[in-house]
């Protein structure tokens, strides 16, 4: 077990290292931030001054060495656009992203799990269909469109909810719904198939044989076991939500990590992109690691793989 763990962690670190190298060079070949920090048509002297200020006049190799040595000293660098420490920016956005992702996940599970269970229990029934269609719809509509429709209806038309921004419970409702709906279908599918599997298993059959009422069998024996893979997927999706919600965050002016990253890319704010991508990567890799290790603990066969 210990060896497996060490190996797994080693691989994760390799992945992260690869990620940092790729992102470093990738972001540099796609555009020049200096050009965006001055008005188009500004003089060459202004441009050179900006380049020098940002350390972009040095060769890429030198820049990479500086980046890595700074990183090892715990210095994540300053944003080109905001001219403030990237880590500070990232940490100020992270709580918002976590909040949004958590609420979205609640919505998503709230839609996905019941419809998945109903679908498995009442296979082919009416509620199965409605739940399934509703869950699938979320996946069939681009989230920017869902978001704008929500704003139009609940903010402009009814006037119930604030259109954008953050700060109160009311602000989080619409973006969380728009984001959560997108993931509902995945959770429904998994709940359904995992329920079906559990319902066909020996111990559920045994419970039925014992004469327990069906509702009891489903609620107590089947549901509890079927939930494990669903929650695992939810954990991974939660991290994905934190990191990739650019669109929903843009529509609702939600100050999260996704938008920080997107703005970083738009302005070729190299330090922001590098640090955000590496930290996002670290989160994803960590969650994957935990999931793998948990599975290894549960199912010893995986260890020898």
Partner 1 sequence: MNGSRASALTLAWRLASFGPRGYPVVPIAIIVITTLLAVFADFIAPHNPEIGVLGERFKPPAWQAGGTETYLLGTDHLGRDVLSRLIFGARVSMIVGFFAVIVAGVIGTALGIVSGYFGGWVDQVIMRITDTWLAFPALIFAIFLAAIVGPSLTNLVVILGAVFWTRYARVIRGEVLSLKERDFVRLAIVANCSNWTIMRRHILPNVINSAVVLASLQLGIVIIAEATLSFLGVGVPPPMPAWGLMLADGKKGMMAGYWWLTVLPGTCIMLMVLAANLLGDWLRVKLDPQLRQL
Partner 2 sequence: MRRINGPLALFLGVALVILVATNVQAAPEGQLVWGVHFSLAPTWFDPAETPAMITPFLTLYALHDALAKPMPGNPMAPGLAESWTVSRDGLVYEFVIRKNVMFHNGAVVTAEDVKFSFERYRGTSAGLLKNRVAAVEVVDAQRVRFRLKEPWPDFLTFYATPATGAAWIVPKKYVEKVGDEGFKKAPVGAGPYKFVSFTPGVELVVEAFEQYWRKTPAVKRLVFKVIPDESTRLAALKRGEVDIVYSIRGALAEELRRTPGLTLKPTVVQGTFWLSLVDQWDPKSPWHDRRVRLAANHAIDRKAINQAETLGFSKLTGSIIPSSFEFYWPAPVPAYDPGKARKLLAEAGHPQGFDAGEFFCDNSYANLGEAVVNYFKAVGIKAQLRPLERAAFFAQHREKKLRNVVQASSAAFGSASTRIESFVAGGGAFAYGSYPDIDGLFQEQAKETDRKKREAYLVKLQQLIHEKAMFAPIWELGFINGAGPRVQESGLGLIAGHAYSAPYEDLALKAR
Residues that bind partner 1 (CB under 8 A): 11-12, 14-16, 18-19, 22-23, 26-27, 29-31, 125-126, 129, 133, 136-137, 139-145, 148-149, 152, 156, 185, 189-190, 193-194, 197, 229, 233, 243-244, 246-247, 258, 261-262, 265, 277, 280-281, 284-285, 288, 305
Tell me the C-alpha distance between 91 and 46, whole Å. 32
Nearest CB to partner 1, comparing residues 139 and 166: 139
Query: Residues with Cβ < 8 Å from 256, sequence gap 6 or more?
Result: 93, 96, 97, 100, 242, 245, 249
Nearest CB to partner 2, comparing residues 22 and 253: 253
CB 60 within 8 A of CB 251: no
- Verify binding: residue 163, partner 2, rule CB under 8 A: yes
Q: Which partner, partner 1, partner 2, none, binds residue 82 by CB below 5 to 8 Å per kind?
A: partner 2
Q: Which partner, partner 2, partner 1, none, binds residue 50 by CB below 5 to 8 Å per kind?
A: partner 2
Length of the chain measured in residues: 305
Q: Which partner, partner 1, partner 2, none, binds residue 284 by CB below 5 to 8 Å per kind?
A: partner 1
Q: Extract the tokens encoding 56.
A: 């972009």
- Verify binding: residue 30, partner 2, rule CB under 8 A: yes
Q: Which partner, partner 1, partner 2, none, binds residue 32 by CB below 5 to 8 Å per kind?
A: partner 2
DSSP per-residue string spanning 260-295: HHHHHHHTT-HHHHHHHHHHHHHHHHHHHHHHHHHH
Tell me the C-alpha distance between 285 and 302, whole Å. 18
DSSP per-residue string spanning 1-54: -HHHHHHHHHHHHHHHHHHHHHHHHHHHHS--HHHHSS-TT--HHHHHHHHHHH
CB of 265 to partner 2, least distance (A): 8
Q: Among candidates 182, 158, 181, 187, which has minimal Cα distance to 170?
A: 158
- Verify binding: residue 177, partner 2, rule CB under 8 A: no
CB 222 within 8 A of CB 199: yes
Residues contacting partner 2: total by CB under 8 A? 49
- Verify binding: residue 162, partner 2, rule CB under 8 A: yes
Number of H helices, E strands in the chain: 14, 0
- Verify binding: residue 259, partner 2, rule CB under 8 A: yes
Nearest CB to partner 2, comparing residues 33 and 116: 33
Helix, strand, coil percentages in the chain from 3-state DSSP, rounded to 5: 80, 0, 20
Q: Which of 217, 260, 261, 277 binds partner 2 (CB under 8 A)?
A: 260
Q: Which partner, partner 2, partner 1, none, binds residue 145 by CB below 5 to 8 Å per kind?
A: partner 1
CB of 45 to partner 2, least distance (A): 6
CB of 36 to partner 2, least distance (A): 6
> Site residues (CB under 8 A) for partner 2?
30-33, 35-47, 49-50, 81-84, 89, 92-93, 148, 151-152, 155-156, 159, 162-166, 250-253, 255, 259-260, 263, 265-268
């Amino acid at each position: 077990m210990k060896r497996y763990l060490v190996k797994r962690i080693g691989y994760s670190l390799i992945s992260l290292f690869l990620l940092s190298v790729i992102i470093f060079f990738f972001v540099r070949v796609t555009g020049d931030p200096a050009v965006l920090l001055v008005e188009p048509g500004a003089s060459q002297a202004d441009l050179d001054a900006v380049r020098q200020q940002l350390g972009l006049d040095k060769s890429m190799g030198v820049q990479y060495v500086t980046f890595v040595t700074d990183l090892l000293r715990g210095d994540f660098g300053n944003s080109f656009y905001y001219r403030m420490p990237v880590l500070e920016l990232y940490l100020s956005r992270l709580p918002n992203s976590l909040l949004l992702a958590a609420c979205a996940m609640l919505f998503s599970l709230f839609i996905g799990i019941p419809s998945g269970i109903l679908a498995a229990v009442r296979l082919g029934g009416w509620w199965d269909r409605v739940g399934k269609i509703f869950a699938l719809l979320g996946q069939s509509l681009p989230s920017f469109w869902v978001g704008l429709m929500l704003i139009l209806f609940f903010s402009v038309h009814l006037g119930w909810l604030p259109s954008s921004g953050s700060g109160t419970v009311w602000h989080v409702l619409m973006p969380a719904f728009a984001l959560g709906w997108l993931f509902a279908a995945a959770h429904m599918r998994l709940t359904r198939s995992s329920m079906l599997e559990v319902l066909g298993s020996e111990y559920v059959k045994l419970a039925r044989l014992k004469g327990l009422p069906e509702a009891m069998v489903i609620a107590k024996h089947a549901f509890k076991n079927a939930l494990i893979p669903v929650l695992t997927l939810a954990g991974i999706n939660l991290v994905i939500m934190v990191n990739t919600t650019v669109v929903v965050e843009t529509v609702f002016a939600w100050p999260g990590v996704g938008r920080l990253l997107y703005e970083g890319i738009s302005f070729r704010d190299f330090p922001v992109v590098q640090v955000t991508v590496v930290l996002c990567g670290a989160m994803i890799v960590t969650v994957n690691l935990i999931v793998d290790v948990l599975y290894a603990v549960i199912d010893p066969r995986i260890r020898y793989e």
